[in-house]
Structure 1
Amino acid sequence: MDSTQRSGEMPSTIIISNNGQTRIEQQKKGCFPIRYNLMFLGWLAAVVAYSIRIDLSIAMVAMVNQTFVENFKTNKSDDFKSFCPSPYNKSSNHKNNSLITGDIDWTPRQQGVVLAAFFAGYFCSQIPWGIIVQRFGGKKTVGFGLLVCGILSIVTPAAAEYSFVLTVIVRGLMGVTQGSVYPGLMSLIGKWVPLDERSKFSTVISTGGSSGVIASTYLTALFSEHDYLGGWRTAFYIFGAATCVWFIFWMMSVYNFPAEHPRISRKELNYIEASLTSATANKKDIKVPWASILKSVSIWSLCILMFCNSWLYYVQLTFMPTYMNVILGLDMNDNGIYSSLPYLAGAITSCLGGVIADCMIHRGVKINTTRKIMTTIGVIPETITTLTIAFLGCKSNLVITMFILTHAFGGFGDAGMSISIIDIAPRYAGVIYAIANCLANFSGMLAPLVTGYITDVEETLDQWKKVFFLASGLNIFGYLLFLTLAKVEKAPWSDDITENDEAEVKLIDSTSNSETHTKNYGTIVS
């Protein structure tokens, strides 16, 4: 008795005749759906991607010579008295005596350039990656893109110590290579995940980003505070190495199409194919309807919303640790803890929002209504809490609470924004998401530059109010456009199946093939 029989699984024999050759496959029926491999490894991809994306923002506090920064600002302005009293030095009247001194002399504007370099590369690479994903699928593009990004993370400390320019180049290349991740994941979700599971899949994977930020924030702060662990450099090495390990499991377990997976059961394959109303899950050579995409008001309003919402997110992602240290006076350890709490809250509410959205759709609520309700729950409260931060001043506990609430409410919005792309055009989700993510991360490039410019001369509470006002205003503007102009439902141009396509789907519904087999199917006998 073999292991399959011992485990109680019933094997299914499929005889496939292909070009005169016969192949026998054993299909195993397991209790764990194969498509959940994509959810788990996609979640891990987001974890390592955000870990190596955000570690520099945390390490910057320990890397940079804060005395140099303070002297640079003092030389530009005599009125430098708006730091909050340090909670660890009550005798401090206005300057933060808990500033951490590193070895690298970067001004606030240079810090903004370094942080923006990643997003500049990310922005420039999105559309090319979308086209590549559409042509070659998500497996290799996500895998190799993130692998190279992890290797570049390992060399970042050496680059930072060598020169400012080299650091900008390395960070830019990291953005280019990491640009493959989300277009690839969206493409895979569109091909693997039934409609009523998409919110859950998308939000679980998106929590990987929050989880990566949590891990990166806490561990980078921990390493930065203790030199005996290697200091801030260790974080870059660990997260880069973790990415290389992830790559091995990704390449072994993920396939571009359900029909390619050698271990998928016939029951699950048929369920996926029957749940998708087009040839999206199996059709490889798809002509992208560029004219229809570029003329879609729904797509453009969604892109603008993602740009505006991302501005608020990236301001906090890149500058919250600096704000807590330089303005609120938190030391490195507390900075790591309190900077990670907002992302923990966001991860929890993102999962909860996905479950709520799927339940609403399952109960018959229109997709358009569901997505806009979840977006509203996310955008409006997070804007209010961001504005509140601007008026709380030095009330550290309340400021930290507002940061946490901002991300907690924002997590609900994950079930209403980017996932709408798959609802509108699942067949072209990869390339459309690349366009939307391109614009979203254009804000990731601009937000650090603008914030660095605003706070360059005087990093005061008044200057930071300008930062929060700008982010809040953009967030509301994008939300109103999406609410009034977007129509979240399957677009007519995304469902152009021909009779040949339908025949192909029926044929592929009956079997599966591994990645090493030819894709021209012959007669199938079960």
Structure 2
Amino acid sequence: MATMTELSPTVEKSKFSQNTQVDENLVPKKVPSFCSTRYGLALITHLCNFMVMTQYVAINITMVAMVNGTNHQSRFNGSTEMLPIDSFSGSNDVPKSLSAEGSILGGQFALWEKWGPPHERSRLCTITIAGMPLGAFAIILLGGIISQSLGWPFVFYVFGGIGCIYCLLWFALVYDEPIFHPWINVTEKEYILASLAHQVIPQKQPLPIKAMLRSLPLWSIGVCNFSHQWLVTILIVYMPTYISSVFNINIRDNGFLSALPFIIAWVTSILTGQLADFLLTKNFRLVTVRKITTFLGNFPSSALLLVLPYLTPSYVTTMTLLMITCGLSPISQSGIYVNPLDIAPRHSSLLMGVSRELGCAAAIAAPTVSGLLLSQDPVFGWRNVFLLLFAINLSGLIFYLVFGDASIQDWAKERKLTRL
């Protein structure tokens, strides 16, 4: 049997388009990993999500200065404290930013349909998504300083300018499929195509909307995505405010500590993909890996926030628990966020976009509801916020643990058309 490295350098796309199992002898055992085109693509999409998150959080940070005055100089003393939520009701920019986030992630998953070997998808996708906590770290650390020193518009000028430069990198280096990339190593190209041979479907077929609406595994991803995004939103929007309100601290003076949990989340985001792929090499079932990582990223984080208001106020204890919470939350990325590639690789980009839009709904609703709870009950407001978060998060997690799946669904499989 010929090995992959002995095949012709030019691999026809149709050769790997049959809906059959991959012959292990045709997949190269040693191919570039860290210094490879597919991991370079993961780094580029990582930077893309970095830019998305800086723009999203920048709106929250600068909204204070926008509302407090018409002058460009910040009037919130450089603090990254967020605006009271009733001020968000009149803003159209936040929903637009969140909607764009869902569209961007859906487009990125379309890349991994053609670039991500199944046993590497967890780490590739988590490297991609890890750009978001890194972006939150950067904007929380620098946003208040830039706004105070130069004025709030410069927060957008600085990060927007970086985004424009980044677009040139995207246009030059990102290609839809390995066969179109002009600089990819031949062995790596053949390795990717062979790994995906049993999933690449050549002919386009109608979208099975009715079957998708009846699919409980699909709904479980969306519901759990909503509940997890509720947790993430509270961490991003209200963590600096919580620290400031409980300890009466100017967040600007402790900017690094306020942003530190998100750099920990960035490290965890990258490592969780390695963990998921390691478990798969130890013969864990794929659905088991997805549910374990989803559980670890949801329950401990929401439980720690639930007990936080009941503890004796201590700055060290509070920051430690918040860091642990932020560090555990990204573990879900190897679960519900990668799961669309498992159940419907042909439609994963669409499913990811839809599930992220549900997450965006949580990102809009969470601060709105939390703001109302805090304004109506100043004494027990934070307890109510974290209790509601725990209830929503636990409900979504249970729904996913019961109905989640990792096998290709019948409605996502290729249907052979026959003529009578």
TM-score, L = length of structure 1: 0.68
Q: Which residue matches 2:49?
A: 46
Q: CA contact under 8 A between 2:9 and 2:186: conserved in structure 1?
A: no
- What secondary structure does 2:329 align onto? helix
Q: CA contact under 8 A between 1:388 and 1:402: conserved in structure 2?
A: no
* 1:179-218 pair list within 5 angstroms: 179-218=102-141
- What secondary structure does 2:130 align onto? helix
Distance 1:473 1:428 in 2: 31
Is 1:472 the equivalent of 2:390?
A: yes
Q: 1:109 to 1:200 in 2, by over 3 A?
A: closer
Is 1:348 the equivalent of 2:267?
A: yes
Q: Please list every run of 5 or more consecutive structure 2 residues that lacks an aligned counterpart in the other structure.
A: 1-7, 13-30, 70-74
Q: Which residue matches 2:21?
A: none
Moved more, 485-494 or 463-472: 485-494
Distance 1:395 1:186 in 2: 42
Q: Which residue matches 2:406?
A: 488
Deviation of 1:359 after TM superposition, in Å, equals: 0.8
* 1:14-33 pair list within 5 angstroms: 32-33=35-36
Deviation of 1:498 after TM superposition, in Å, equals: 4.7
Q: Partner amino acid for 2:396?
A: G
Distance 1:318 1:393 in 2: 23
Q: Which residue matches 1:317?
A: 236
Q: Partner amino acid for 1:321?
A: P
Q: Partner amino acid for 1:419?
A: V
Q: 1:269 to 1:335 in 2, by over 3 A?
A: same
Q: Which residue matches 1:385?
A: 304
Is 1:270 the equivalent of 2:190?
A: yes
Q: Which residue matches 2:159?
A: 239
Deviation of 1:283 after TM superposition, in Å, equals: 3.6
Q: 1:33 to 1:454 in 2, by over 3 A?
A: same
Aligned pair partner of 1:289 in 201, 208, 213: 208
Q: CA contact under 8 A between 2:211 and 2:411: conserved in structure 1?
A: yes
Q: Partner amino acid for 1:490?
A: I
Q: Partner amino acid for 1:271?
A: Y
Deviation of 1:219 after TM superposition, in Å, equals: 0.8
Q: 1:451 to 1:13 in 2, by over 3 A?
A: closer
* 1:325-474 pair list within 5 angstroms: 325-392=244-311, 394-457=313-376, 460-474=378-392
Q: Which residue matches 1:254?
A: 174
Distance 1:496 1:259 in 2: 22
Distance 2:189 2:11 in 1: 16
* 1:24-173 pair list within 5 angstroms: 32-60=35-63, 65=68, 100=76, 108-113=84-89, 168-173=91-96
Q: 1:13 to 1:190 in 2, by over 3 A?
A: closer
Q: 1:61 to 1:397 in 2, by over 3 A?
A: farther
Q: 1:393 to 1:462 in 2, by over 3 A?
A: farther
Q: CA contact under 8 A between 2:235 and 2:326: conserved in structure 1?
A: no
Q: Partner amino acid for 1:351?
A: I
Deviation of 1:65 after TM superposition, in Å, equals: 4.5
Q: Please list every run of 5 or more consecutive structure 1 residues that lacks an aligned counterpart in the other structure.
A: 1-11, 17-28, 67-98, 114-164, 501-526
Q: CA contact under 8 A between 1:109 and 1:456: conserved in structure 2?
A: no
Distance 2:348 2:240 in 1: 34
Q: 1:420 to 1:33 in 2, by over 3 A?
A: same
Q: CA contact under 8 A between 1:324 and 1:335: conserved in structure 2?
A: no
Moved more, 471-480 or 390-399: 390-399
- What secondary structure does 2:405 align onto? coil
Q: Partner amino acid for 1:219?
A: L
Q: 1:193 to 1:395 in 2, by over 3 A?
A: same
Q: CA contact under 8 A between 2:102 and 2:360: conserved in structure 1?
A: no
Deviation of 1:50 after TM superposition, in Å, equals: 0.3
Provide the alpha-carbon RMSD of the alignment. Answer: 2.8
Deviation of 1:177 after TM superposition, in Å, equals: 3.7
Q: 1:278 to 1:333 in 2, by over 3 A?
A: same
Q: 1:30 to 1:308 in 2, by over 3 A?
A: closer
Deviations 1:121-151 (Å, cap 9, x if unpaired)? xxxxxxxxxxxxxxxxxxxxxxxxxxxxxxx
Q: 1:64 to 1:498 in 2, by over 3 A?
A: same
- What secondary structure does 2:46 align onto? helix
Distance 1:441 1:298 in 2: 20
Deviation of 1:453 after TM superposition, in Å, equals: 1.7
Q: CA contact under 8 A between 2:61 and 2:83: conserved in structure 1?
A: no
Moved more, 442-451 or 231-240: 231-240
Q: CA contact under 8 A between 1:221 and 1:332: conserved in structure 2?
A: no
Deviation of 1:430 after TM superposition, in Å, equals: 0.6
Q: Which residue matches 1:305?
A: 224
Q: Partner amino acid for 2:45?
A: G
Deviation of 1:259 after TM superposition, in Å, equals: 1.8
Deviation of 1:393 after TM superposition, in Å, equals: 6.0
Deviation of 1:499 after TM superposition, in Å, equals: 9.7
Deviation of 1:497 after TM superposition, in Å, equals: 6.1
Deviation of 1:242 after TM superposition, in Å, equals: 1.0
Q: 1:326 to 1:479 in 2, by over 3 A?
A: same
Q: Partner amino acid for 1:449?
A: T
Q: 1:312 to 1:176 in 2, by over 3 A?
A: closer
Deviation of 1:492 after TM superposition, in Å, equals: 3.0
Deviation of 1:203 after TM superposition, in Å, equals: 1.0
Distance 1:455 1:377 in 2: 28
Deviations 1:352-387 (Å, cap 9, x if unpaired)? 211111011122211011111112222221122111
